[in-house]
Structure 1
Amino acid sequence: MDRWPRRRARGITQITRGLGTLDRELFETIAETPTPLLDSVMPPLTRAADHSKLWLAIAAALLASGKPSAQRGATRGVATLGATSLVTNQVAKRIRPRARPVYDSVPLIRRVRRRPVSNSLPSGHSASAAAFAVGVGLENPPLGFVLALLAGMVGLSRVATGAHYPGDVLAGFGIGAGLAVLGGRVVPPIVETTLPKTEPFVVDTPPRPDGAGVVLVINPSSGSGTGSRVVDEVRAELPQLEIVELGPDDDPEVALRRAAERAEVLAVGGGDGTVAAAASVAIEADLPLAVFPAGTFNHFAKDIGCDTVAKTVEAIRSGSVVRVDLVCLNESRMVLNTASIGAYPMFVRYREKLEKRVGKPVAGFYAMLQTLRKGEPVRIRYDNKTLQTSLFFLGNSLYLPTGFAPSRRTRMDDGLIDVRILETGRPWARTRILTALALGRLLRSPLYHELQVPEFSFSAVDGPTVIAHDGEVGDEYDHASFSAKYRVLPVFRPLAPS
């Protein structure tokens, strides 16, 4: 009975010795290969990877790129690299002692300047390289692929310069990649929403090269004087366009209705609240709407591609009109962009104030912290459940990115309403929300609710609550019903090239 364990032990020992012999033979083959490319490339590459300098420099470049997936990848990569370095040096290198390779067969020009004295198994450089590459790849696969090739070169450099056996490098790759994958399970990467692609609903509209038939209603003082500049540009580019300049005491909605009576195209310049009023008038009068960016933020104008006067002018000249969605509140008021209750407008103000200086992730966390501290909660009931919220967002069409910092739309004709709610009435809700946000796990939190639906309604439990929409404070409502009006508004916008 004792023979079988002894045979198994002898078999394992023979296999281990065989692998060790193969490992040494591979090392000698690489070391003795007279390749000028290895001599010139491997030593500087392995020195660049010392103390993870190479990966930290790449992380800094990714953070400065401004691309969210690259920035998340850099953060994840550095965090994974730090954890891997700790595990490799303090745990893995102490499990099985192994001497470093003998230098004799390595060409002098290719040897590392300072021969490492730590245990050879596993390779710390290789573990860090794999950890960073896989960590970045979880957030941005194309970048991860490129970095994986570079990580492979770093691993080869450790063998070519005589610092490690190939088996040490493979073990390091396994540790680094394994810890990166484990980190992806603990803190899942953010998956960008992929929007369905459909053809736009193009409206057959005659070109208006000089603006004939277009009536523009605009406040010259809107947007801290932007309106006045828009008036001058439009006059120069579309000489036959009629301009109605609003005074400080004029009612924009009254002026828009009067303009619609004689217009073939209704145009508007102002903030999103004024544009929303113009959209309602245009729909009632069955007129296409042209929007000039004359407000402060111009969210709607930017999302339809008319972020400059020149783009709107070109759309009018070429007769480029498509239909987009609006959201109707209680069948009486049109919402262009967003509606909210609670402290969501406060959250947006904090975030926009800081995001250009510290980036969106940090700005979003700070804005969330301040809003949860200062915001007044509201209890609402929807879909047969009651919850308390300080942050409620509702958008016309699907907003990106997912999570509670939506900022842009790539299309406005999907027939959907985008609803995001943070529940703040449960025990330790604020701490749980901030922790989930910091760890990138907000989407998985039971306190976060997200819906994309054609209709949505809620009731205010404790009495009427104010609904803000399109940057303006609105009326109080006991019950609010929102419905998507699919491709209801014909609007001038540049068409993407076919």
Structure 2
Amino acid sequence: MLPRRRARRAKVAIRSGIRHSRRSLRPVGALDRRITEAVGDLPPNRGDAALLHLTRSANHSWLWFAAASLLAGLGTRRTRRGAVRGIFGIALASFAANAVAKPLVPRRRPAADLLPPYRSLPERPTSSSFPSGHSASAFAFAVGVGLEGPRAGALLAPLAATVAYSRIHVGVHWTSDVAVGSALGAGAALLTQRWLPRRPSDEAIARPWLDAPALVDGEGLSMMVNMGSGRPGVDPAEEIAAALPKARVVRLEEGDDLLDKLVETASLPGTRALGIAGGDGSVAAAARVAEDMGLPLAVMPAGTLNHFGRDVGVYDLQEVVDATGAGEAVAVDVGELRAYTTSLGPEGGARQVFVNTASFGGYPDMVRLREKWEKRWGKWPAASAALVAVLWTARPVRCRIDGRETSVWMLFVGNGPYAPSGMTPAYRPRLDTGLLEVRYLRADRRFSRARAIGGLLAGTLGHIRTYVEHTAETLDVELLDGPLQVATDGEVMVAGDRLTFSVAEVKVPVYRRDESRWPERTPAW
């Protein structure tokens, strides 16, 4: 009998709370009705038809998808990131408004006779009036874009506000529905930062290198160009030769050995700096040669992803021209990996340099899937989906990490600390810490696979017990089930059952222009 009494008391309390809430919200309802009647009394004008068309264009967020396509097509980093964040915000806001709030808070829409027929929306929705899903999507997109590009967000804000008002003007929402929907959308946009962290600046912090030679028009620069990189139909070597007329440009053709060609390029008479035009794998090889020969490095990003170029802050050829001409450079860490088979000893191992990351287990597979999907979905949604897909089928790797035996799903080593916390590292705040970042998912705890996937989807992966993250000067890993392939900078390079990671003692100077001296070229969006 006791449980039944408690259930009856709970029902009475809930009903009492609902009645109390309704009484307290009556002033809001009265204000809503007065505003709707005032809108209905407005004289006819040309804006009536325009608002009808606008509110229809926002059905199913088609207006915002079109705006996202336009922003992505503008070709700037910030607008592309803003488009991705805006669409993600719409997804969160639509779920919260339509799948959660509307079923929980049923509310009748304004009566059709409160507005004149020529202003009313003919196809009136039948779902709950509270909150306004159109308003939620509008402000989720505008605020999401504004988080990446304030100017673009400022231009979209009046359009979002007009869409929100149009729901009142055509008589399908009360004012409070629109206000709550707008706040819900803005909150959803801010929440996207849990999964899609905002980068505080377009380049990582690094100490200036004061001894880099100024190479006006490329004089003293020997640049090797990976002809397999770059945009289809464009010869990167010709572009570089035109922009740096005094530089010596060497082409890496199909079949050439990358390291041999880099050494040949760096050994040309009069070479004062080594240049590389290619992807992250080519940049890592060039960093190794530059380190060995004591030369500064000029990087022209020409690969598919160019993570290193983005972290350094070099995005195009003009920045290379500016930095080399002015002799502006920063000191950058270089990671190194020594992989060998235990039976042969360290002498039989290979030294591999990496400028971004090294990994084994499911992580290389995750990188490949992310690269395959990110052109369609964007980087961070693709990274999350790829991680879930890999975790679903991954096999544990037994290993001994710094003398402690464990099993892992995947292990990631970064050349410097990455942000944000979690298994989808995005960028490096600094390039000269002298530290490695170690991240891995443990596979030796109960339900570790399910916990990892759940933490990823909830945006709390960095806080679950099966996830480990720390920095170190060195890392020693012994693979207990035999050699595994290790990927460095996104490419499978070496294999071994004993892996030693560290940061090279000598930093490499990399040309990067001082943005404080080039304010007119800072992206406006």
1:61 corresponds, among 49, 67, 72, to 67
Assess if the C-alpha contact under 8 Å between 2:358 and 2:486 holds in 1: yes
Residue 438 of structure 2 is matched in structure 1 by 419
Q: Higher mean Cα deviation, 306-315 or 454-463?
A: 306-315
Distance change >3 Å, CA 445–CA 213, structure 1 → 2: same
2:390 corresponds, among 346, 361, 371, to 371
| Deviation of 1:305 (Å) | 5.4
Residue 8 of structure 1 is matched in structure 2 by none
Question: How far, CA to CA, are the matches of 2:406 and 2:352 in structure 1?
Answer: 26
Matched, 1:288 2:292: no
| Deviation of 1:232 (Å) | 6.4
1:100 corresponds, among 89, 102, 111, to 111
Q: Give the CA RMSD over aligned residues.
A: 5.3
Residue 483 of structure 1 is matched in structure 2 by 503
Residue 6 of structure 1 is matched in structure 2 by none
Matched, 1:128 2:133: yes
Instruction: Name the SS for the 2:515 alignment partner.
Output: coil
Question: How far, CA to CA, are the matches of 1:114 and 1:86 in structure 2?
Answer: 24
Distance change >3 Å, CA 352–CA 201, structure 1 → 2: same
Q: Higher mean Cα deviation, 239-248 or 272-281?
A: 239-248
Distance change >3 Å, CA 278–CA 62, structure 1 → 2: closer
- Counterpart residue type for residue 496 of structure 2: E
Residue 77 of structure 1 is matched in structure 2 by 90
Report Cα offsets for 1:53-72 as digits up to 9, x if no partner. Answer: 17443245337744345434
Assess if the C-alpha contact under 8 Å between 1:344 and 1:393 holds in 2: yes
| Deviation of 1:201 (Å) | 0.4
Distance change >3 Å, CA 48–CA 480, structure 1 → 2: same
Question: How far, CA to CA, are the matches of 2:258 and 2:96 in structure 1?
Answer: 62
Assess if the C-alpha contact under 8 Å between 2:330 and 2:511 holds in 1: yes
| Superposed counterparts of 1:227-376, under 5 Å | 237-239=244-246, 241=248, 252=259, 256=263, 265-267=272-274, 269=276, 272=280, 275-291=283-299, 300=308, 303-304=311-312, 312=320, 315-329=323-337, 334-360=353-379, 363-365=382-384, 367-368=386-387, 371-372=390-391, 375-376=394-395
Assess if the C-alpha contact under 8 Å between 2:359 and 2:413 holds in 1: yes
Question: How far, CA to CA, are the matches of 2:429 and 2:325 in structure 1?
Answer: 24
Question: How far, CA to CA, are the matches of 2:167 and 2:279 in structure 1?
Answer: 61
Residue 198 of structure 2 is matched in structure 1 by 192
Residue 389 of structure 1 is matched in structure 2 by 408
Instruction: Name the SS for the 1:323 alignment partner.
Output: strand
- Counterpart residue type for residue 111 of structure 2: R
Residue 77 of structure 2 is matched in structure 1 by none
Distance change >3 Å, CA 458–CA 140, structure 1 → 2: farther
Assess if the C-alpha contact under 8 Å between 1:365 and 1:434 holds in 2: no
- Counterpart residue type for residue 473 of structure 1: M
Assess if the C-alpha contact under 8 Å between 2:55 and 2:167 holds in 1: no
Instruction: Name the SS for the 2:210 alignment partner.
Output: strand
Residue 494 of structure 2 is matched in structure 1 by 474
Question: How far, CA to CA, are the matches of 2:24 and 2:236 in structure 1?
Answer: 80
Distance change >3 Å, CA 308–CA 162, structure 1 → 2: closer
Question: How far, CA to CA, are the matches of 1:275 and 1:71 in structure 2?
Answer: 28
| Deviation of 1:421 (Å) | 2.3
| Deviation of 1:381 (Å) | 4.4
Distance change >3 Å, CA 333–CA 152, structure 1 → 2: closer
Assess if the C-alpha contact under 8 Å between 1:253 and 1:278 holds in 2: no
Assess if the C-alpha contact under 8 Å between 2:360 and 2:412 holds in 1: yes
Question: How far, CA to CA, are the matches of 2:254 and 2:21 in structure 1?
Answer: 91
| Deviation of 1:267 (Å) | 1.8
Distance change >3 Å, CA 318–CA 109, structure 1 → 2: same
Matched, 1:455 2:461: no
Question: How far, CA to CA, are the matches of 1:182 and 1:305 in structure 2?
Answer: 30
Question: How far, CA to CA, are the matches of 2:326 and 2:39 in structure 1?
Answer: 66
Distance change >3 Å, CA 247–CA 386, structure 1 → 2: same
| Deviation of 1:340 (Å) | 1.3
Q: Higher mean Cα deviation, 140-149 or 376-385?
A: 140-149
Instruction: Name the SS for the 2:334 alignment partner.
Output: strand
| Higher Cα radius of gyration | 1
Instruction: Name the SS for the 1:287 alignment partner.
Output: coil
| Deviation of 1:341 (Å) | 1.9
Residue 511 of structure 2 is matched in structure 1 by 492
* TM score, norm. by length of structure 1: 0.69
Question: How far, CA to CA, are the matches of 1:16 and 1:344 in structure 2?
Answer: 52
- Counterpart residue type for residue 390 of structure 2: T
Assess if the C-alpha contact under 8 Å between 2:408 and 2:440 holds in 1: yes
* TM score, norm. by length of structure 2: 0.66
Assess if the C-alpha contact under 8 Å between 1:328 and 1:335 holds in 2: yes
Question: How far, CA to CA, are the matches of 2:171 and 2:251 in structure 1?
Answer: 79
Question: How far, CA to CA, are the matches of 2:282 and 2:121 in structure 1?
Answer: 70
- Counterpart residue type for residue 367 of structure 1: A
| Unaligned segments of structure 1, at least 5 residues | 1-10
Distance change >3 Å, CA 339–CA 147, structure 1 → 2: same
Report the identity percentage.
28
Distance change >3 Å, CA 17–CA 170, structure 1 → 2: closer
Residue 210 of structure 2 is matched in structure 1 by 203
Instruction: Name the SS for the 1:194 alignment partner.
Output: coil
Report Cα offsets for 1:311-333 as digits up to 9, x if no partner. Answer: 54664444333322222446965
